[in-house]
Structure 1
């Protein structure tokens, strides 16, 4: 208990100090979420990150599924340290970051560590506050959240500049994606979401799925649901997953890789964060405040 309090105090002091430092260029913070598991959310996060990196961005991917982390597994990485070591004060955030493929930098989560799946609000804030160390060193932060509507998912989505909801054309995925959007809009006043249709049969199929969900959201919720794009589940994508290589590197000419590149280019046209503080510091501050 005392260790937790000490860690929380250090995090608070670190945050207050970091927020007073001069800001650098704005950082685009994107939370990738889904109503349910099994929709390919982590695969989306990885390939979008690599595609954004190929466009010249310095991209950091945070595996924020504290209970069932799988970014490192998906990429075949062997990591010695993870967020649990940051929480315990044994390592800094810089020390746990690993080099991933395609220029992507990755913060591993702590897969299978029970405590990491049951963080207190102060502990959750303490981890995010460590991001103040990274000010000036990245252009895009992608947060691969856990599936569902856990407290950590809500916290990350509330603090991010953009929320990308990954959905597939199956009743459970659509229902759970709607539930996630409903909770975030009704209880936390989020009003804008980006929808990505995954494992679609075609671009038209993906857009039809978006329009189906958008109609329901417009009818019952006061939100804006924008279409980011769709990713076909082609054979190259399946082979890439099995080989633990992102499809954007394994088969850059595949239909799925082309789809990720097109979406990365679309993300580049989204409004940049404004203000003297830059969005990374706002992300840290907002998440810290929401944890109380």
Structure 2
């Protein structure tokens, strides 16, 4: 993973997603990003939940600008970057602005493009997506090198995770997904959740699932959330903090998938080519 090889290196982009809300996805994103920073990685945490953003709230930050201001032309993307704990960089999304949930596909692509142009030296970008299978979620997952799907022990969580993986695989060509079990009672429960999901995906989809591990249900994590801090910073020796550090260590060892799929630049070239072809076809028909 491009650690320490200079600002010109392409950062690793990790998209965190979930089929349904309420599985602790934003908490996972924050603690994964905080663990990566603590391990010496220059990390940016991007909140792309355009309607119900809450990364800044969960870290007790007061943003001057959000992505809504970028889309309205009030500021550049660079102006939205907040300094979080220990040097973690954060780009906040807008909360309670319904029009931000109705962005067009090309606006999501434009946002991916803007991030690929950022003049900030980074090793990793962690993208906290909205729950579900909206276009923006799919676009950011497609642009990432790795997709982490968060599940918990609820039937709807597994069903909806499968639906998300199916759409990513069939519509966006994603061939590899990391699965993280959250809020588990014990390690066996986490492994069982993964196996349940893997049984259906291996039967019906051409996608490889990797088990990233499990985060235990932990009172210290709840206290950290109340304190508006990452648990890895507030209670570094708690069971959930140790689990997050372990997950971050594994994430740093990931190899990029073979071929160029996943790199933001390649992703953009492909999208631009597709858009150009569509424009040419329209011109020819006119």
Asked if TM exceeds 0.5, the reply is yes
**Shift >4 Å, 4+ stretches:** 272-276, 283-292
Helix, strand or coil at the partner of 2:117: helix
Structure-1 separation of matches of 2:118 and 2:154: 39
Given that residues 31 and 145 in structure 1 are in contact (C-alpha distance below 8 angstroms), is that contact kept between their aligned partners in structure 2?
Answer: yes
Partner residue of 1:26? 10
Given that residues 162 and 197 in structure 2 are in contact (C-alpha distance below 8 angstroms), is that contact kept between their aligned partners in structure 1?
Answer: yes
Distance verdict in 2 for CA 1:290–1:237, change over 3 Å:
farther
Q: Which has the higher contact order (CA 8 A, sep 6+)?
A: 1
Structure-2 separation of matches of 1:290 and 1:199: 41
Partner residue of 1:81? 65
Helix, strand or coil at the partner of 1:267: helix
Matches within 5 A, 1:122-201: 122-135=106-119, 137-201=121-185
Given that residues 53 and 95 in structure 2 are in contact (C-alpha distance below 8 angstroms), is that contact kept between their aligned partners in structure 1?
Answer: yes
Given that residues 143 and 264 in structure 2 are in contact (C-alpha distance below 8 angstroms), is that contact kept between their aligned partners in structure 1?
Answer: no
Unaligned runs of 5+ in 2: 1-6, 279-286
Distance verdict in 2 for CA 1:136–1:102, change over 3 Å:
closer
Helix, strand or coil at the partner of 2:177: strand
Partner residue of 2:25? 41
Given that residues 112 and 140 in structure 2 are in contact (C-alpha distance below 8 angstroms), is that contact kept between their aligned partners in structure 1?
Answer: no
Deviations 1:239-283 (A, max 9, x none): 11111111001100000000000011001111157899x934335
Structure-2 separation of matches of 1:201 and 1:215: 22
Shift of 1:287: 6.1
**Count of residue pairs brought into register by the alignment:** 270
Shift of 1:113: 1.1
Structure 2 length-normalised TM = 0.88
CA RMSD of aligned residues (A): 2.2
2:231 is the counterpart of 1:244: no
Given that residues 273 and 279 in structure 1 are in contact (C-alpha distance below 8 angstroms), is that contact kept between their aligned partners in structure 2?
Answer: no
Deviations 1:152-184 (A, max 9, x none): 111111111100000001101010001111111
Helix, strand or coil at the partner of 1:228: strand
Partner residue of 2:209? 225
Shift of 1:127: 2.3
Distance verdict in 2 for CA 1:287–1:61, change over 3 Å:
farther
Given that residues 19 and 157 in structure 2 are in contact (C-alpha distance below 8 angstroms), is that contact kept between their aligned partners in structure 1?
Answer: yes
Partner residue of 1:57? 41
Helix, strand or coil at the partner of 1:106: strand
Is 127-136 or 40-49 further displaced after alignment? 127-136
Unaligned runs of 5+ in 1: 1-22
Deviations 1:5-59 (A, max 9, x none): xxxxxxxxxxxxxxxxxx9212101110000000000000000001011111100
Partner residue of 1:103? 87
Structure-1 separation of matches of 2:154 and 2:211: 18
Helix, strand or coil at the partner of 2:197: helix
Deviations 1:121-180 (A, max 9, x none): 222222222213325610101110000000111111111110000000110101000111
Structure-2 separation of matches of 1:203 and 1:289: 46
